[in-house]
Amino acid sequence: MAFPASVVRLDNGLTVIHQEITTTPVVVVDVWIKAGARYEPTDWTGMAHFLEHMVFKGTEHILPGMFDAAIESRGGLTNAATSHDYAHFYMTVAADDLDHALPYLADLLLHAAIPADEFVRERQVVIEEIHQAWDDPDWLGFQTLSEMIYGDHPYGRSVLGTPEILQELSPEDMRQFHRAYYQPGDMQVVVTGGVSLNRVLELVQTKFRTFARWAPCPEVGSADPPHHLLTKTPALLHQTLALPRLEHGRLVMAWLGPGIGDLEKATGLDILATVLAEGRMSRLVRELQEERQWVDEIASSFSVQQDCSLFVLSSWLAPRHIQDVEKVICDRIAALATTPVTAVELERAQRVLCNDYAFAMETPGQLAGLYGYYGTLATPELSLAYPSYVESYTAPQLMALAEQYLSPHRCGTLALTPT
């Protein structure tokens, strides 16, 4: 299948990804930047997310609040997000308003002023966000598990940072981080919807032209992927966390998987996650939730990251069932390497995943997100490979994959219980 979008690399190193959709009067602009938490020096943890907030605080020409007012006054929408691998800023506007809206977004991203007074005020907003996260047992549990599994790798640190580190940051530190990473070679402008390629290139080449002069920031520590859960030597990690005001127990079990560089294997683990705990017909939902009634809910997830990914099984249950549920999950995980999944299970998982992929490509915003995500972590063209990988898997291939990655002896486990 030919890649339906145009990928244009400008002379300054900026990548433009564009797909015209003539049937819609809407345009989505989604700017992706390799400036996530993995690029932070250890003593600047939380910088990338904090900078996401500060970008909207204006430039020499845009006062705080002007961007939101300019977009929302015409019925547009805008937002941003930061992960370990990237930050991205996106807006949805009517096609006729693109000429009006894009200069605002470009100026904010390229020339963020990071004023000192706004920096101090917004730091308190981010610290409050951290305090709210600490009150969320699911966030706290997942962060604790990430620290257990990833160790010193940046993926083990919270994207939000800590209040102590944020209090030590200065506006000039942030300007330095911005100058280092908000550069054309680390940025992709994805535009989808009712606008032609020629018009997009004309606008982008004009508005994304004068970047800040590059300057280095302090060296980032080692980002080598952790290998202790990928070796044949048992490396079982187990921790129990007692939390106040917790109404239901949690059991979260996780295994390390490959990153975006081995998307085919990552796709196979997505299939196994679906076989185990996606929908009422999956193995663990049927056994633990419906038959034994030991869990109130059980779910699986596998999200691909740049370096390495997590295969996660999460259960909500009464604390008295934690040990029994953990034993069943370990037994069922071990069986994946010795007994092939049935043809019915494989066909169902393939259909579910291919349908989910198709449903995620229905709107301009979904397409922009898909292209930007794959383009930032690898190449935008790789975004089309997923369904073909899903459809090509056989039961023996899944057995080999389970043996390589999903041993019950190479698992990180966290139990959350009420105090």
pLDDT tens-digit readout, 159-200: 999 999 999 999 999 999 999 999 999 999 999 999 999 999
pLDDT > 60? residue 237: yes
| pLDDT bracket for residue 223 (50, 70, 90) | low
| pLDDT bracket for residue 346 (50, 70, 90) | very high
Helices 395-405 + 343-359 axis angle, to 10: 80
For 172-181, letters b (16+ CB in 10 Å) and e give ebbbbbbbbb
Dist CA 405 CA 363 (whole Å): 35
> Please, are residues 70 and 92 in contact by the beta-carbon 8 Å criterion?
no
pLDDT of residue 55: 98
> Please, are residues 251 and 245 in contact by the beta-carbon 8 Å criterion?
no
> Please, are residues 13 and 124 in contact by the beta-carbon 8 Å criterion?
no
119: burial class by Cβ within 10 Å (0-12, 13-18, 19+)?
Answer: buried
Number of neighbouring beta carbons within 10 Å of residue 153: 20
Closest CA to 93 of 107, 78, 79, 108: 78
Dist CA 304 CA 314 (whole Å): 17
Using the Cα atoms of residue 167, residue 170, residue 175 and residue 176 in order, give the sign of their dihedral.
negative
Task: Give all domains of the chain, ordered by start, each with its CATH number.
Answer: 6-207 (3.30.830.10), 237-418 (3.30.830.10)
Give mean pLDDT, residues 364-386: 97
- Token pair belonging to 16: 């433009």
65-124: pLDDT as tens digits:
999 999 999 999 999 999 999 999 999 999 999 999 999 999 999 999 999 999 999 999
